[in-house]
Amino acid sequence: MAQVGNKSLMRELNRSNILNYLRINGPTARTDIVRNIGLSAGAVSEITGELMGLNYIVEESIGKSSGGRKPVFLAINPDVGYVVGIKLMEKKIAIAITNFLAEVIETKQVDFKIGPPEKNFKEIAKIANDFIEEAGLDRGNLQGVGIGLPGIVDVERGVLQHSPIIGWRDIQVEEIMSEIMNVPVYIDNDVNTFTLTELWFGNGLGANHFMTVTIGRGIGLGLVTNGKIYRGQGGAGEIGHTVITPGGKRCECGKQGCLEAYISDPALVNEAFEQGLITKQDSIKTLADLANSGSVEAEKIISNAGYLFGSTLANLANIFDPEFIIVGGEGLRLGENFLNGMNTAFLNETMPALRGRTTITIDRLDDTAWARGAAGLILQEIFESPIG
Ligand SMILES: [Zn+2]
């Protein structure tokens, strides 16, 4: 990175502070920005003038005037550009185009076959470019592409280290994709992308300690402490691979007895198959339908899974004492039997002294929400260090 002088670094920081203030607080009068950010009126005027020149912010007149001029507010210009978010899954991709406030403009899902990465990257780029054209957007206004991947991602290097779900290892996703797309490309673990969007634009606005836990094809964890995503040395969040039964069922990661080997969608389908309730070709939906139509065995599989999941949430509450946990993912399609098991376990297994401190929020997030999360990767970059 080029050496940045102190003066221009300060300027960047001040710009970033003002943009983020407007992102969090919405339209604000200049005088309130001055009061709340701790910059002089002159400095705020100069920086907001620059940001207006770059079209990042606009003036808005809102509310009633008290006789004289209408008060003028400054606001983020959501349409100064757009970003694309992609969630790559085992058999499909979800893609979303969002504006600068992470509001979804267009979204769709496309069937996708995982194969050699280089071939897949070209296919993904084509899907993205076609989608931008279909949406009638100017390709020149695309600010970047964020990609959420199911696995361990080295965000510093932009490398997917390992994904048991799609079978890739050590792939330089950012480098290759940004070359093909000719815009910045950022990647992250898919649960982190979702967590990031909650933190920057969603339920997590203003929260210091929260987490998102997702269940479905796998079990994922996004962890926010002190208002930032916690990554450990890079691979943090692999809650699905905590061992609940040493020497137990074999897991895709190569170990035995992982949580995921018991309560992921494929694990539950397998369990129901072994009990003779469904065939090998059936899906998790068949199992849920069976439980809903009164099969006691199916109900038991699902409520047991809910209990194990709820115990995991309680373990997290015991370790991290977060303000809230957002629970999402397609596994919630298992319905009331699952949720009842989860709630019972969460109550029972949270340490008595910590009970009632952490709330659970259910977010029936669909694949669009995940793709929107991936778009958040680019928005974060823009807000942290405005271009221009
Ligand atoms: Zn595992």
For ligand 1, the distance from its centroid to the CA atom of residue 130, given in whole angstroms, is: 37
Least reliable range by pLDDT among 69-78, 338-347, 350-359: 69-78
Evaluate if residue 330 carries a pLDDT over 70: yes
Q: Tens digit of pLDDT for each residue in 103-119?
A: 999 999 999 999 999 99
For ligand 1, the distance from its centroid to the CA atom of residue 206, given in whole angstroms, is: 33
User: How many Å apart are CA 269 and CA 281, to the nearest integer?
Assistant: 9
The pLDDT, as a whole number, for residue 368 is 81
Q: Tens digit of pLDDT for each residue in 94-105?
A: 999 999 988 999
Q: Tens digit of pLDDT for each residue in 261-304?
A: 999 999 999 999 999 999 999 999 999 999 999 999 999 999 99
Query: Of residues 67 and 147, which shows the higher confidence score?
Result: 147
For ligand 1, the distance from its centroid to the CA atom of residue 237, given in whole angstroms, is: 12
Evaluate if residue 76 carries a pLDDT over 50: yes
Q: Where along the chain do its domains lie? A: 6-76, 82-197+369-384, 202-365
Across the chain, mean pLDDT equals 91
The pLDDT, as a whole number, for residue 194 is 86
Mean pLDDT along residues 175-196: 94
The pLDDT, as a whole number, for residue 262 is 97
Q: Which CATH class is domain 202-365?
A: alpha beta
Among 179, 187, 164, 188, residue whose Cα is nearest residue 122: 179
The pLDDT, as a whole number, for residue 347 is 97
Mean pLDDT along residues 78-90: 94
For ligand 1, the distance from its centroid to the CA atom of residue 150, given in whole angstroms, is: 13
Determine the CATH number of domain 82-197+369-384: 3.30.420.40
The pLDDT, as a whole number, for residue 66 is 63
pLDDT band at 64 (very low <50, low <70, confident <90, very high): low
Mean pLDDT along residues 194-216: 89
pLDDT band at 149 (very low <50, low <70, confident <90, very high): very high
Mean pLDDT along residues 215-226: 93
The pLDDT, as a whole number, for residue 3 is 46
Evaluate if residue 388 carries a pLDDT over 80: no
For ligand 1, the distance from its centroid to the CA atom of residue 352, given in whole angstroms, is: 30
For ligand 1, the distance from its centroid to the CA atom of residue 240, given in whole angstroms, is: 6
For ligand 1, the distance from its centroid to the CA atom of residue 324, given in whole angstroms, is: 26
For ligand 1, the distance from its centroid to the CA atom of residue 315, given in whole angstroms, is: 18
Q: Which fold has domain 6-76?
A: Arc Repressor Mutant, subunit A (1.10.10)
For ligand 1, the distance from its centroid to the CA atom of residue 68, given in whole angstroms, is: 66
For ligand 1, the distance from its centroid to the CA atom of residue 126, given in whole angstroms, is: 34
The pLDDT, as a whole number, for residue 68 is 66
Mean pLDDT along residues 138-164: 94
For ligand 1, the distance from its centroid to the CA atom of residue 98, given in whole angstroms, is: 34
Structure tokens at 146: 């964020």
Domain 82-197+369-384 matches domain 202-365 at the CATH topology level: yes
Among 150, 362, 164, residue whose Cα is nearest residue 258: 164
For ligand 1, the distance from its centroid to the CA atom of residue 261, given in whole angstroms, is: 7
Evaluate if residue 381 carries a pLDDT over 60: yes
Evaluate if residue 213 carries a pLDDT over 70: yes
pLDDT band at 13 (very low <50, low <70, confident <90, very high): confident
Evaluate if residue 256 carries a pLDDT over 90: yes
pLDDT band at 233 (very low <50, low <70, confident <90, very high): confident
Q: In this structure, what are the phi and psi dihedrals at residue 137, rounded to the nearest 5 degrees?
A: -100, 150
Mean pLDDT along residues 8-30: 87
